[in-house]
């Protein structure tokens, strides 16, 4: 009699465990590469770590704790440094996230990414994913092989945030170093410190604390489900480049870009020699947007500049203004309409 009873107890226990696992939130994880997946020659290699990259499976095998946190569905988009994330990968990533989040059983999405251009991808997702569910972009400053690597805990925290219902409706979020930033305001602020991501003017949205995920703020600019940008049928985006302003800057890059056929140029600050080149670019139909190199503050628009057809990037840095301008140009080339878009997003 004892053995069947034990078996049935084990069976009930097994069913209970399986039910518990099934009740864990389902998070869609998209991997793209970057330092979080990079390997170095030894544990003290904290730069120039060029010894290949771990697979998504290897990345996750480092985090047995996930079995009590969430169920994961893993999609490998790429395994490259973030400088090699191109339009094809961005479109594939955004479309895949929208498709995953449209399934009722998926609670949220996490993207692992190199930190170099992470803010660009995060802002692109912020503007294009058609869902109110949480989208969290995460990376690491130390490679997978380093002592005290930050990747595993960053990833664990990103999955926690993606599985948190309170993280919904805030657009794409960036989670590193226990801190939750909005993709709209975050930028990489240090070349190698673990605390690199900052939201300079407005601060982070919240924190991933040991007991719970805490939000203190929301954002008011348009994003995700409320965004007007529809990439579902797009295979490419207009070419837009950035030109940096400084003392004695040459207009040559502006002429060269116009010659190369770009559709838009974002200026990170101005320079006297740009003035004529900008007029020539605009005469050829190239849209010009004024951003700034200072890292905080809006580029204000006077009535005189507006009358001259100037477009300003609000307080978006140049690399993010470029992301928005590429999407805006899929809808319009009209100056006032483009300025409305920069004011609203």
DSSP state of 27: E
Residue 143 or 171: which CB sits closer to ligand ASP? 143
Residues 328 and 345: their CA atoms lie apart, in Å, by 10
> Minimum Å distance from CB 135 to ligand ASP?
19
33 conformational bin, left if phi > 0, alpha if psi -120 to 50, beta if neither = left
Q: Which residue is nearest to ligand ASP (CB)?
A: 114
Q: In this structure, are residues 51 and 39 in contact, taking their beta carbons and an 8 Å threshold?
A: yes
Q: In this structure, are residues 114 and 82 in contact, taking their beta carbons and an 8 Å threshold?
A: yes
Which residue is it, tokens 């005290």? Answer: 148
> Minimum Å distance from CB 52 to ligand ASP?
14
> Minimum Å distance from CB 116 to ligand ASP?
3
Does an H or E element contain 151, and which? helix 151-162
Residues 212 and 92: their CA atoms lie apart, in Å, by 32
Does an H or E element contain 234, and which? none
**Which residues of this chain interact with ligand ASP, rule CB under 6 A?**
34-35, 81-82, 114-116, 139, 141
> Minimum Å distance from CB 337 to ligand ASP?
34
Q: In this structure, are residues 251 and 276 in contact, taking their beta carbons and an 8 Å threshold?
A: yes
Which residue is it, tokens 């809808």? Answer: 331
Residue 36 or 101: which CB sits closer to ligand ASP? 36
Residue 188 or 222: which CB sits closer to ligand ASP? 188
Query: How would you class 14 by CB atoms within 10 Å of its CB: exposed for 0-12, middle for 13-18, buried for 19 or more?
Result: exposed
> Minimum Å distance from CB 143 to ligand ASP?
9
Q: How many CB atoms lie within 10 A of CB 95?
A: 17
Residue 35 or 98: which CB sits closer to ligand ASP? 35
Residues in the chain: 345
- Compute the chain's Rg from CA coordinates: 23
Residue 82 or 157: which CB sits closer to ligand ASP? 82
Catalytic residues: 35
């Amino acid at each position: 009699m004892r053995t069947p009873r034990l078996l049935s107890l084990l069976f009930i226990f097994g069913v209970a465990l399986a039910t518990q696992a099934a009740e864990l939130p389902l998070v869609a994880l998209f991997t793209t590469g970057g330092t979080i997946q990079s390997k170095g020659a030894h544990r003290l290699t904290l730069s120039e770590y060029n010894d290949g990259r771990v697979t998504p499976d290897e990345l996750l095998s480092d985090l047995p704790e996930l079995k009590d946190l969430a169920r994961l569905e893993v999609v490998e988009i790429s395994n490259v440094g973030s400088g090699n994330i191109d339009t094809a990968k961005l479109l594939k990533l955004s479309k895949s996230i929208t498709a995953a989040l449209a399934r009722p059983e998926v609670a949220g999405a996490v993207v692992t990414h190199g930190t170099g251009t992470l803010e660009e991808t995060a802002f692109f997702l912020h503007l294009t994913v058609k869902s109110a569910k949480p989208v969290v972009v995460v990376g690491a400053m130390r490679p997978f092989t380093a002592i005290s690597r930050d990747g595993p805990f960053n990833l664990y925290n990103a999955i926690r945030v993606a599985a948190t219902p309170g993280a919904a409706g805030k657009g794409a979020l960036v989670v590193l170093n226990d801190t939750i930033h909005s993709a709209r305001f975050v930028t990489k602020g240090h070349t190698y410190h673990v605390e690199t991501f900052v939201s300079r003017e407005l601060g982070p949205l919240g924190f991933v604390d040991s007991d719970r995920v805490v939000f203190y703020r929301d954002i008011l600019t348009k994003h995700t489900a409320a965004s007007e940008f529809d990439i579902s049928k797009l295979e490419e985006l207009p070419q837009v480049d950035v030109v940096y302003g400084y003392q004695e800057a040459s207009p040559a890059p502006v002429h060269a870009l116009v010659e190369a056929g770009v559709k838009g140029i974002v200026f990170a600050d101005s320079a006297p020699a740009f003035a004529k080149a900008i007029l020539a670019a605009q005469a050829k139909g190239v849209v010009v947007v004024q951003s700034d190199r200072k890292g905080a503050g809006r580029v204000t628009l006077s009535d005189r500049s507006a009358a001259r057809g100037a477009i300003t990037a609000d307080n978006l840095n140049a690399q993010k203004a470029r992301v928005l301008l590429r999407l805006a140009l899929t809808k319009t080339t009209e100056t006032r309409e483009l300025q409305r878009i920069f004011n609203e997003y």
